[in-house]
Amino acid sequence: MRIVIAMMKHETNTFSPIATDWQRYKDWGVYFGEDAQNAYENTGMPMAAYIDLAKEIGAEIITPLAAEAMPSGPVTGEAYAIMSDAICHAVADGCDAALLDLHGAMVSEETDDGEGTLLERIRGIAPDLPIAVTCDLHCNLTQKMVDNCTVLIGYKSYPHVDMYEVGKKIGKVLLDSLSGKFHPVMAWQQIPLLSQTLCQGTDDEPMKSLIELCREKEKNPKILAATIFGGFALADIKDSGTSVIIVTDGDKQLAEKTSREISWLAWEAREKFIYRPKPLKEAIQDAKAQTNFPVLLLDHEDNCGSGGTQDVMMVIKEVIDQGLEDVAVAAVYDPLAVQEMIKAGVGKEITLAIGGRFDMPSVMLKGKPLTLTGTVRTVTDGRWTVHGPMYTGVEVSMGPTAVFDTGKVQIVVVSFHHEPWDTGVFTSVGIQPEHKKFLLLKTRIHFRAGFAPIGKATIHCDGEGVTTSDNNLLHYKKVRKPIYPLDKGVNF
Ligand SMILES: [Zn+2]
């Protein structure tokens, strides 16, 4: 038996000014053939689970591609073609099944439905090919995706710490169905809800109960997989938003009924999926009043993990203006500032303009650098291996990296976008985060994977950026209407 196993991922923020070209994929890591297997085997990713399953049954493993890029604007036609060609050529060479590790919110220059278009093309080559797909919790599910695979499942955790487990579950369902043990059928439901990712943490309501309900449903041996997708509202495409998909063993009615039930509960909780902003000044005042440290300050409107430029200095400026001390910041994207620090050398004091390199026309913001005087503390190549619970075992790269120290605030400045979900973002540059008073993190929910165990309090800091949680700042043109909360009187 020959099994094609591949990973092709991107979460596309259509409001982001950052281009997602092939180089951006290379920055994170692109692997073909055996290199793809070597890079992701024994990690916490769905791809690793697929490889383990294929090995268990002694199948021949074909890994044409493993590619991911940090979230950003639409994927270029060139990058999309390289990735989908690699997978499609492997399928065309002949295989008995495909196990795909996708995201579900990829938009390219040519298609708003990156995954659906790929799956449709695969099915065009091999119409009866059994295909299993894992998607991120932030998948914007489409009819085309559902129509062109056999089984599909999403992560049940945000931060995403169950990627391997989910890959194993759906991969096993598919392989068991090859021997006739199961006859999978799917039903799905789109909810007219643009939920904020900031309100989708699975330790918080309403996602906590909705995920528990999915797990409860999966205890029924007829229900092979039950998924609720929070969706990714920062994509202005027709199918943006929350959805549910159920895989059952041959029982379409049960799939439909279960899908409707979970969807209805998500719809009833819709208000809790919307973030209520708070003035930044007050948030930093709250931080000053804290007595248990470290306190986590979330600069969630500039989260590169959702397509943010990671160079908006507004929250950092407020922290400095209000005189907070013993602060570590992860991270600011500014390759030019890193080069200036490398040129100056470790231990040297310099005055430097940091951040503000990108304009953000979609939210009518100009890039505003912040000029600071401080000391270059550390310079590294930015490479380290994740030991925490998310992306466990994966070597990540922040590109050339330097720490700028104002005396009160230490800023990790990076050359590749990197969301701080793991303490390695600090320890790799010699900062011990548990000993700081304040950790200012450009993240939303993923920080919990590495930082929840050490953080004594968490404060949302509403700055600016293209990962705003305020829908009123975003100008949607393509999303289906009516949809909550953009429109009034939406029915479901
Ligand atoms: Zn996600």
- Cα of 217 vs centre of ligand 1, distance in Å, is 23
- Cα of 417 vs centre of ligand 1, distance in Å, is 16
- Cα of 136 vs centre of ligand 1, distance in Å, is 5
- Cα of 137 vs centre of ligand 1, distance in Å, is 5
- Cα of 117 vs centre of ligand 1, distance in Å, is 20
- Cα of 231 vs centre of ligand 1, distance in Å, is 9
Query: Which alpha helices (DSSP H) does 293-379 contain, by range?
Result: 314-321, 335-344
- Cα of 103 vs centre of ligand 1, distance in Å, is 8
- Among residues 143, 190, 176, the alpha carbon closest in space to that of 249 is found at 176
- Cα of 155 vs centre of ligand 1, distance in Å, is 9
Cβ pair 139, 229 in contact under 8 A: yes
Cβ pair 421, 394 in contact under 8 A: no
pLDDT, residue 472, reads 82
pTM above 0.85, yes or no: yes
- Cα of 342 vs centre of ligand 1, distance in Å, is 33
pLDDT in tens, the chain (492 residues): 999 999 999 999 999 999 999 999 998 899 999 999 999 999 999 999 999 999 999 999 999 999 999 999 999 999 999 999 999 999 999 999 999 999 999 999 999 999 999 999 999 999 999 999 999 999 999 999 999 999 999 999 999 999 999 999 999 999 999 999 999 999 999 999 999 999 999 999 999 999 999 999 999 999 999 999 999 999 999 999 999 999 999 999 999 999 999 999 999 999 999 999 999 999 999 999 999 999 999 999 999 999 999 999 999 999 999 999 999 999 999 999 999 999 999 999 999 999 999 999 999 999 999 999 999 999 999 999 999 988 899 899 999 999 999 999 999 999 999 999 999 999 999 999 999 999 999 999 999 999 999 999 999 999 999 999 888 889 999 999 999 999 999 999
Cβ pair 364, 384 in contact under 8 A: no
- Cα of 71 vs centre of ligand 1, distance in Å, is 10
- Cα of 116 vs centre of ligand 1, distance in Å, is 18
- Cα of 445 vs centre of ligand 1, distance in Å, is 9
pLDDT, residue 160, reads 93
- Cα of 202 vs centre of ligand 1, distance in Å, is 12
**Structure tokens belonging to residue 289:** 């009043």
For 432, phi then psi, to 5°, come to -95, 100
Residue 373 to residues 6, 154, 297, 425, 439, Cα–Cα distance (Å): 47, 46, 22, 23, 20
- Cα of 160 vs centre of ligand 1, distance in Å, is 7
- Cα of 238 vs centre of ligand 1, distance in Å, is 19
- Cα of 438 vs centre of ligand 1, distance in Å, is 25
Cβ pair 441, 422 in contact under 8 A: no
What 3-state DSSP class applies to 325?
A: coil
- Cα of 310 vs centre of ligand 1, distance in Å, is 17
- Cα of 377 vs centre of ligand 1, distance in Å, is 33
Tokens 């495909």 correspond to: 98
Domain limits, CATH 3.40.50.2300, in the chain:
2-273
- Cα of 128 vs centre of ligand 1, distance in Å, is 30
Which residues in 230-289 belong to E strands, given as ranges?
243-249
**Structure tokens belonging to residue 441:** 């993190």
pLDDT, residue 430, reads 97
Tokens 């939920």 correspond to: 195
Positive or negative, the Cα torsion across 122, 229, 222, 172? positive
Long-range pairs of 360-367 with CB within 8 A, sequence gap ≥ 24: 360/15, 360/17, 360/309, 360/465, 360/466, 361/17, 362/15, 362/16, 362/17, 362/466, 362/474, 362/475, 363/15, 363/464, 363/465, 363/466, 363/468, 363/473, 363/474, 365/312, 365/464, 365/465, 367/309, 367/311
- Cα of 158 vs centre of ligand 1, distance in Å, is 7
pLDDT, residue 470, reads 86
- Cα of 110 vs centre of ligand 1, distance in Å, is 23
- Cα of 374 vs centre of ligand 1, distance in Å, is 35
Domain 2-273: give its CATH code: 3.40.50.2300
Q: pLDDT tens, 318-340?
A: 999 999 999 999 999 999 999 99
- Cα of 74 vs centre of ligand 1, distance in Å, is 16
- Cα of 200 vs centre of ligand 1, distance in Å, is 10
